């Protein structure tokens, strides 16, 4: 019996290798037959995130070319206030006179988590109906860090204040254009209308490049051309 043990051991080892080889071949066959998963392309409502140090859960990609979230241009002041108060978790300012070039009233939400109230959201009305909005302010030559708390608004796919136009080009491609108008602006044509804004960051007035950062996000009528991109 002792003389047969090495032979039996080798036989068991051979059978074990055959079984393992069969299992490996079966696994390879299953893997080859399985469908390949391809990540879908970004759609108009997808959030690709932001580089402006904003946690993903706080980003609200609601700024569109025809309104803010479900509130579209043409909505009443009451409808606008109700929706945006809920969205931001704070009450906006009074419905007051202000604006130019057909815009005659506005409501402003100053960020409650920032000492200077920025970034602010101003919505503009013409004849009692929502006509446009501006997120951020063109007077802020240096875009500050977003507040540490509260929601941060963004355009579709997640572009927000403080992001570079290089990120915007990666998110939207060629539809995002740059202009030297009014010291530097950006424009984006979407299926829901045009979004634009000021872009700051280069040392020379009118020197526009993809390294500039988004200073405002605007849509609709926000006043005369001198006050809007």
- Does 64 lie in the same domain as 22? no
pTM of the entire predicted model: 0.72
pLDDT digits (tens, 9 = 90+) for 18-40: 545 554 554 444 333 333 222 22
Contact 48, 157 (CB under 8 A): yes
Number of domains in the chain: 2
3-class secondary structure per residue, 132-179: EEEECCCCCCCCCCCCCCCCEEEECECCCCCCEHHHHHHHHCCCEEEE
- Does 6 lie in the same domain as 73? no
| Structural domain span for residue 19 | 2-33
Residue 210 lies in a domain: yes
pLDDT digits (tens, 9 = 90+) for 206-218: 567 888 889 999 9
For the chain, the average pLDDT equals 77
d(CA 226, CA 223): 8
- Does 25 lie in the same domain as 89? no
pLDDT digits (tens, 9 = 90+) for 174-204: 999 998 888 889 999 999 999 999 988 654 5
Residue 43 lies in a domain: no
- Does 63 lie in the same domain as 28? no
- Does 174 lie in the same domain as 89? yes
Per-residue pLDDT of the chain (229 residues; tens, 9 = 90+): 445 544 444 544 555 455 455 545 544 443 333 332 222 233 333 344 465 566 667 889 999 999 999 999 999 999 999 999 999 999 999 999 977 778 999 999 998 877 777 788 999 999 999 999 999 987 655 555 566 778 899 998 999 998 999 999 999 999 999 988 888 899 999 999 999 999 886 545 556 788 888 999 999 998 776 555 6
């Amino acid at each position: 019996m002792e003389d047969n043990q090495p032979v039996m051991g080798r036989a068991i080892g051979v059978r074990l290798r055959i079984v393992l080889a069969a299992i490996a071949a079966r696994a390879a066959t299953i893997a080859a037959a399985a469908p390949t998963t391809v990540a879908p392309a970004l759609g108009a409502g997808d959030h690709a995130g932001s580089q402006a140090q904003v946690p993903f859960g706080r980003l609200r990609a609601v700024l569109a070319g025809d309104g803010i979230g479900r509130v579209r241009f043409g909505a009443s002041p009451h409808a606008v206030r109700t929706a945006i108060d809920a969205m931001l978790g704070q009450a906006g300012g009074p419905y007051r006179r202000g604006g130019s070039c057909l815009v005659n009233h506005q409501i402003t939400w100053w960020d409650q988590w920032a000492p200077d109230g920025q970034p602010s959201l101003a919505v503009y009305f013409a004849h009692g109906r929502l006509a446009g909005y501006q997120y951020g302010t063109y007077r802020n030559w240096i875009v500050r860090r977003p507040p540490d708390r509260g929601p941060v608004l963004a355009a579709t796919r997640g572009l927000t204040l403080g992001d570079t136009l290089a990120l915007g080009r990666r998110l939207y491609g060629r539809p995002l254009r740059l202009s030297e108008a009014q010291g530097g602006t950006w424009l984006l044509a979407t299926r829901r209308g045009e979004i634009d804004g000021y872009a700051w960051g280069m040392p020379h007035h009118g020197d526009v490049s993809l390294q500039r950062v988004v200073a405002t996000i605007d849509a609709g009528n926000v006043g005369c051309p001198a006050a809007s991109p």
